[in-house]
Amino acid sequence: MEPAFDDIAAVLRAPPARLRARYGALALRLAESLATGIAIGIGFAIVHAFAG
């Protein structure tokens, strides 16, 4: 049981994640979602152009 407490203590002593690293992942995820939305929109525009 003591090794588990040692692991918890080590995690609590570790420095917190850098703000830039945390928000960098969020920005990358938002950019990915934006690119996917643009690709879907262009696909719908092409289908609409050929259908109409």
DSSP string, 1-52: -HHHHHHHHHHHHSPPPPHHHHHHHHHHHHHHHHHHHHHHHHHHHHHHHHH-
- 24-44 per-position pLDDT tens digit: 888 999 999 999 999 999 999
Q: Is the pLDDT reported for residue 17 higher than 80?
A: no
For the stretch 13-35, what's the b/e string if a residue is b when 16 or more beta carbons lie within 10 angstroms of its beta carbon? eeeeeeeeeeeeeeeeeeeeeee
| pLDDT score at 10 | 78
CA dist 45 and 51 (Å) reads: 10
Q: Which residue in this structure is represented by tokens 């850098």? A: 18
Q: What is the mean pLDDT of residues 10-17?
A: 73
pLDDT category of residue 52 using cuts at 50, 70 and 90: confident
Q: Is the pTM of this model over 0.75?
A: no
